[in-house]
């Protein structure tokens, strides 16, 4: 196995609820208290599944100030601009 394949296989993240593979650019970070109440510990959730657990859409007040939310994920960038 070449190193390129091993890196790409290590980088695959799956949503704990819907089991869909999540590209890194779709990652997001919410406030600790929200993740503790609605998240899945050290596992991952896609934004759609997290919003289902939250029973509402995410708002800019839910998101942490971090590079991922502010510069990488187009969905969180849009939320933060509202």
**pLDDT tens-digit profile of 1-17?**
444 444 444 568 999 99
The larger pLDDT score, comparing residue 25 to residue 49, is at 49
**DSSP state, 47?**
H
Count the residues in the chain: 82
19-38 per-position pLDDT tens digit: 999 998 999 999 999 999 99
**Who has greater pLDDT, 41 or 4?**
41
C-alpha–C-alpha distance, residues 42 and 35, integer Å: 10
Domain interval for residue 29: 13-80
Q: Return the percentage of the chain with pLDDT > 70, whole number.
A: 87
Burial category of 17 from C-beta neighbours within 10 Å (exposed 0-12, middle 13-18, buried 19 and up): middle
**2 occurs within a structural domain:** no
pTM for the structure as a whole: 0.83
For the cut 50, the answer to whether the pLDDT of residue 68 exceeds it is yes
Number of domains in the chain: 1
């Amino acid at each position: 196995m070449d190193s390129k394949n091993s890196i790409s296989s290590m980088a695959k993240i799956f949503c704990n609820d819907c089991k869909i593979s999540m590209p890194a650019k779709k990652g997001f970070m919410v406030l600790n208290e929200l993740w503790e109440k609605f998240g899945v510990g050290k596992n991952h959730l896609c934004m759609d599944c997290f919003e289902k657990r939250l029973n509402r859409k995410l708002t800019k007040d839910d998101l942490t100030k971090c590079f991922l939310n502010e510069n990488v994920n187009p969905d969180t960038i849009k939320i933060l601009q509202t």
